[in-house]
Amino acid sequence: MEFILQKSVKNKNVFYILKWSKIAEAERHDIIHHVPSVSGIYELYYQDIKKQLRLFFVSIAWYGGLRNAIREKTDLDIEIDKNRREILEKYKCFFRYSASNSFNDLKDVLFFFTETYFPGRTLKDHSGRYENIHVEEVSEDKIISR
């Protein structure tokens, strides 16, 4: 399976199909060897005491690519955000990603996820190209963000 973002447009609506990679443990050497250094979107999870995966971060990687971004956000020696550092210190962390070479498409999908995860607290802008953004997620792990 390719882990890429696909899209189709109808009128002023965009329909994205986001194919996620398999969930993987955020281990420094595995990230370096297995995550591509291309642009894309990624999610970070931690495993709580009940062994449930809990989403704690979603973002896009443009400059530096997915490999650098995921490595920076999951390495306790590098991460500077206090809240994420606390999670990294306490829990086992995991990630998944999907690649795209369109910055505007990534902005649209990130906007959609921000609205989904944090309704009413829009933290990111979309590209402004479409009136409605729809995202269908495909995940071998059967983890859907909504």
| Residue 108 · residue 126 · CB < 8 Å | yes
Give the percent of the chain with pLDDT over 70: 93
Closest CA to 26 of 93, 98, 76: 93
DSSP 8-state symbol, 75? -
pTM for this one?
Answer: 0.90
* pLDDT of 145: 56
Model confidence over 60-94: pLDDT tens digits?
999 889 999 999 999 988 889 898 999 999 999 99
